[in-house]
Amino acid sequence: MEKTSKIYVAGHNGMVGSAILRKLTAEGFSNIITRNSKELDLRNQNEVSLFFEAEKPEYVFLAAAKVGGIVANNTYRADFLYDNLQIQNNVIHSSYVSQVKKLMFLGSSCIYPKMAPQPLKEDYLLTGLLEETNEPYAIAKIAGIKMCDAYRSQYGCNFISVMPTNLYGYNDNYHPQNSHVLPALIRRFHEAKVSNSLEVTIWGTGTPKREFLFADDLADACFYLMLNYDEENLINIGTGKDISIKELAFMIKEIVGYTGHINFDTSKPDGTPRKLMDVSKLLSRGWKYKTELEEGIKLAYEDFKTKYTI
């Protein structure tokens, strides 16, 4: 990519897209195209086709998706499957038709089988059954990976796929029902602090372990791979380190400054015991994360306080 290359960031208002936009701007790229969902409905084939025909972007970061936590994934199963398939199909196909030089498709760690060995290697894809609660979203993302590979195979398109681990950071979603675990805990502890609640209840035993990557580190990895990675199949992006939900809860409690008690409701389900990405492929390509978890949560919490009045 040249500094003047025309780059389309799909999903620029979301946590991931906005981080990629910040990275490109910081690196001196000046010819960046964006459209919000009111200006361009990526689910609409005709709208997307006309947009690509008019704008002719040279590079595409496909960070647009319908996303949410376990409750949202399980509740809006049809929406998660339909919307994400439509977005991917339209953007990837129009990128081929418009002769985009390179496209990056962003997936999710939920593409891996529920009972896959840990840490999760790229070649574990399609080796077992998916986690039932987010199966529609995962199937859509798997279809996106395979679509990129198919267009590469049949048409010679330089379309690549990256799989981020659990993300958090600026512009995160803090919805009380539809958010992921880390932002949900930030909001819950903040609300408890403001209301002087004596106790915060967290589902499960707190023993499951999860990996978390700061969204601006993901953007840095995406930028690096856009310049240095041109292969079929996917590549994981993560830290290669995980933390138990219990340790995470106490870390967030400390950062927020909540002084009450944490109650782990062991009658509630724990979910998958562990989800850790194998990032050896990424490390071998020369990239490693920079932001440690505690530092990243502090940055995310400051961002949360400026945007959410509770």
Per-residue pLDDT of the chain in tens (310 residues, 90 and over written 9): 999 999 999 999 999 999 999 999 999 999 999 999 999 999 999 999 999 999 999 999 999 998 877 777 778 899 999 999 999 999 999 999 999 999 999 999 889 998 899 999 999 999 999 988 889 999 999 999 999 999 999 999 999 999 999 999 999 988 877 778 899 999 999 999 999 999 999 989 999 999 999 999 999 999 999 999 999 999 999 999 999 999 999 999 999 999 999 999 999 888 778 889 999 999 999 999 999 999 999 999 999 999 876 5
Q: The whole model's pTM is what?
A: 0.94
User: Residue 133's closest CA among 73, 209, 204, 68?
Assistant: 73
Sorted by where each begins, the domain ranges of the chain are: 7-168+213-238+277-291
Tell me if 11 is assigned to a ligand binding site.
Answer: yes
270 is in an annotated binding site: yes
What local confidence, expressed as pLDDT, does residue 310 receive? 56
165 is in an annotated binding site: yes
Q: Which residues contact 282 (CB under 8 A, 6 or more apart)?
A: 221, 235, 236, 237, 238, 288
Q: Would the annotation count 286 as a binding residue?
A: no
Which residues is 275 bridged to in the sheet? 210
Candidate list 137, 151, 229, 258, residue with the active-site label = 137
Query: Is 137 labeled as catalytic in the residue annotation?
Result: yes
Query: Regarding the domain delimited by 7-168+213-238+277-291, which CATH topology (the fold level of the hierarchy) does it fall under?
Result: Rossmann fold (3.40.50)
Pairing of strands 209-210, 243-244: antiparallel
Res 308: pLDDT = 79
Residue 180 in marked binding region = yes
